[in-house]
Amino acid sequence: MAKSTINQLYLNMNELDRVEMNEKIIIYQPYDEVQILLAENASCLAVKTYLKMLNRDFTVKSCANAEFMAPSGKRTKLPVVQIGNFIAAEFDPIINLFEHKSMSLTENFEAEDKDDLVTYMSLVDMILTNTELYISWCDELVLKEITKKRNGSVYPFPLNHIQNSRKRYAVIKQLRFYDWANLTFEEVVDKVDKLCQTLVAKLGDRDYFFGSNPTELDALVFGHLFCIFTMELPSSVSLLKETINKYSQLTQFCGRIEKKYFGKIKN
């Protein structure tokens, strides 16, 4: 879809009342097999899981320029979701759209629980998205063997190198904003370890983080953890998976979500 077309589709948030939620939902994302990167894949999976939790059907369309279709975005700019003549990009804006239309998973939450939910979601997004970006763009082996090949796969030479340099510059700038750019890999894993401890304490022996029903937090955590579990990464960063795998509550949580909403289980 051309950028000019996207500009025509984009509506100001003040015009959300005109969005017809019974329209077909289309998710635009990079190509799964050859292009999509870890952080982008996690964001896309989180949105798909959220829509499944809402019992909303959707169609996925893969395209090389998906991230450039987004009218805005602060992290991955993905996925791009189109509903009728409205588009939104990234997890939070997409959730805000559905909440504005009274289609939230947590519409009956008390204010205190709602604040708690937002706090956990912000923590998960910051730590796991930063981790995924760090792994992809700061680890030299991952950058060489995976990131550059996948990110540049849809562009001809020398545009592939230009796009890789442009994307890496933007990611490093973003990581610097959060004081992550100069961390060691071990320091990154330590942050993930502490987050996992926090999530396990919140989850307890329940199926979902806030009880017997799923919330936006469940979709977000699953999207990130499942992609880290299943993404093929070099042994140089295997400590990340090993650290998360220590927490059986989280691996079982991912298994439950996958089985219920996607109908399959991967080891």
Q: In which order are the strands placed within the sheet that holds 25-29?
A: 59-62, 25-29, 80-83, 86-89
Residues 125 and 233 in one domain: yes
User: What pLDDT does 7 receive?
Assistant: 39
Q: What's 82's domain CATH number? A: 3.40.30.10
Give Rg (Cα) of the chain: 18
Range of the domain at 59: 9-100
Q: What is the pTM of this model?
A: 0.91
Asked whether the predicted pLDDT for residue 1 surpasses 90, the reply is: no
Of residues 160, 148, 170, 261, the one with CA closest to residue 214: 261
User: What pLDDT does 186 receive?
Assistant: 97
Beta strands in the chain (DSSP E): 25-29, 59-62, 80-83, 86-89
Last residue of a domain, one of 100, 135, 160: 100
Residues 155 and 64 in one domain: no
Task: Calculate mean pLDDT across residues 104-118.
Answer: 91
Of residues 121, 157, 151, the one with CA closest to residue 136: 151
Residues 166 and 94 in one domain: no
Residue 90 located in a structural domain: yes
Whole-angstrom distance, CA of residue 63 vs CA of residue 5: 15
Residues 59 and 121 in one domain: no
Asked whether the predicted pLDDT for residue 4 surpasses 90, the reply is: no
Q: Between 139 and 102, whose confidence is greater?
A: 139
140-168 residue pLDDT tens: 999 999 999 999 999 999 999 999 999 99
Q: Between 260 and 9, whose confidence is greater?
A: 260
Residues 187 and 240 in one domain: yes
5-64 residue pLDDT tens: 343 344 455 555 566 677 899 999 999 989 999 999 999 999 999 999 999 999 999 999
Whole-angstrom distance, CA of residue 70 vs CA of residue 7: 9
Mean pLDDT, all residues of the chain: 90
At residue 220, what is the residue type? L
191-227 residue pLDDT tens: 999 999 999 999 999 999 999 999 999 999 999 999 9
Of residues 1, 48, 53, the one with CA closest to residue 25: 48
Report the run of H or E that residue 38 belongs to, with start and end: helix 38-53
Asked whether the predicted pLDDT for residue 184 surpasses 70, the reply is: yes
Task: Calculate mean pLDDT across residues 162-191.
Answer: 97
Residues 137 and 237 in one domain: yes
Residue 255 located in a structural domain: yes
Residues 81 and 28 in one domain: yes
